[in-house]
Amino acid sequence: MSEQEENGTKSGWILYPIGSKPKWPLAALLGLQQYLTMFGATVLIPFIIGGAIGMPPDKLALLISTMFFASGICTLIQQSPLGNRLPIIQGGTFSFLGPAFAIIGMVAGKKLTGVDVWQIQLQELAAAVMIASLVEIILGYTGILGKIKNIISPIVIGPTIAMIGLALYSIGAPWMAANWYISMITIIALIVYSQVFSIKSKVFMMFPVLLAIITGWLAALFGTVTGMISPDSAAYLKTDLIASASWFSFAPMMPFKWGFPDFSSATLWAGAVAMLAGYLASMVESIGDYYACAR
């Protein structure tokens, strides 16, 4: 093995063959970078759902925390002998938003009074998700999806992977438009770090996203402290909220925080069928993700 390969680089790529084990500090930073990369989309899913059902702000914050906690648990299971052990974070998907809105609408149509309707909506959402998940469990553990993949060519999977990325544009662009100065600083930093500095620096090669996020955050902090960013701007950092937020909480890991899933609802099966459509779309996304990662 050449000296360049021993240093962990080869032709501009990080070299970690199958079976290699990076040191824990390096692995932790790489994992943190991957979570920060998907942070926006992971926050946005519960944010959209919580906003649609009118959750109180403190409950919405708990829903977001629960989303991250569940994502971490699913990722651990994925890395166990029960999963395929690919270096992929198991997160949420926007394919469930459409079915979720349908269920929310059905509950709202009942015109319930005297109760927290958002709790009823979450209970029916949870029941529909659990029922529909049985189909994906069966398809996965019977190996049927693996046989389907064998007859699906890269010509089909390629556009699927592209659509996953393109679908995020409708999320990222509006958020960027909230403050183009900080957005462009972050984007330019990411391009420079990954395409220029990475040629000479192993640190920039491995952590371009993490370093770009830090650069954008520091720029926002500088603008906040100096008054260049107004308090009504999306880039304004509310340092008092950061200081008052608790670092640890056991609430996200508590099951049935908003009541037990409602399996007795008259609209349960209609909601489950709607969620099944979301699962099928998610399966196509997963095939593209796993295929790309395995390659």
Over the stretch 151-209, which tens digit does the pLDDT of each residue have?
A: 777 777 677 667 766 766 776 788 788 899 999 999 999 999 989 998 888 788 878 88
Check residue 10 and give its pLDDT: 46
Interhelix angle 154-167/268-294, rounded to 10 degrees, is: 110
Task: Quote the Cα angle for 227-228-234, to 5°.
Answer: 95
Q: Percentage of residues in the chain with pLDDT exceeding 90?
A: 20
Q: How confident is the model at residue 224 (pLDDT cuts 50, 70, 90)?
A: very high
Q: What is the pLDDT of residue 21?
A: 79
Residue 5 is predicted with a pLDDT of 45
Which tens digits make up the pLDDT trace of 21-34? 788 888 888 788 77
Rounded Cα gap, residues 230 and 119, in angstroms: 36
Find all residues with CB under 8 Å of 249, minimum gap 6, and list them. 65
Residue reference for tokens 């969620």: 275
Pull the structure tokens for residue 11. Answer: 């032709």
Distance CA 138, CA 241 (A): 44
pLDDT of 62 above 70: yes
Residue range 214-240: mean pLDDT, rounded: 89
pLDDT on residue 3: 44
Give the 3-state secondary structure of residue 40. helix
pLDDT band at 9 (very low <50, low <70, confident <90, very high): very low
pLDDT for the residue 114: 62
Task: Tell which residue, 46, 18, 295, has the closest CA to residue 161.
Answer: 295
Question: Which amino acid, residue 167?
Answer: A
